[in-house]
Amino acid sequence: MLRTTLIALTALAALTVPAMAQDWTIDPDVSSVGFETTVSGGSVSGEFDSWTAEITLDPADLDAARIIASVTTASGSTGNRQMDDSMLSNAGLNPTDYETASFVSDDIRATDTGYEAHGVMTIRGTERELVMPFTLDIADGRAVADASFVIIRSEFGVGGSSWGSAAAEVSMVLHIEADAAD
């Protein structure tokens, strides 16, 4: 009887201990926030050099998962001055009035092929719901995540009348490597 009671109490105690959410520290030297699109039928790619991300994610405790990410809009670059000038103009990302673009999610779900972060993307002060699919590999305290998702730039007011040759869609391409925080 005593053994049965101890086993039951141990099981009950295990159920009442909250799962520990895992925070991650981004390794900026090997991580990137990039984008791809087409202009006049040609491929254009670039990257945001200045960005931050706070990530709490444990695949065993997705209820506690959270992603808060922000890019400094003025740090976007394609390496082509004319395209960069358009992208960073008032009709583009307009970094003078909108210094950052952000994504916030506290709804992370497992899927058959990886995960989805359901959240809100904010660009130029316009908020839109967004689903960001991503893969995640965790080994020896190191996480590697890759994501690719499409943004319809007009939904965020990005682009002017002279942007007729620019594709309506921009693919965001993220590669994130991070170490488990202590």
pLDDT tens column, 20-67 = 689 999 999 999 999 999 999 999 999 999 999 999 999 999 999 999
10 part of a folded domain: no
Cα gap 71→181, rounded to integer Å: 22
CATH number for the domain that contains residue 80: 2.40.128.110
The total number of structural domains in the chain stands at 1
Tokens of 15: 């159920």
* 137 backbone dihedrals φ, ψ, rounded to 5°: -125, 130
pTM (two decimals):
0.86
Task: Look at the alpha carbons of 40, 93, 78, 131 in this order and tell me if their dihedral is positive or negative.
Answer: negative
Res. 11 pLDDT band, cuts 50 70 90: very low
Range of lowest pLDDT (20-24, 107-111, 121-125): 20-24
Q: Range of 113's domain?
A: 22-180
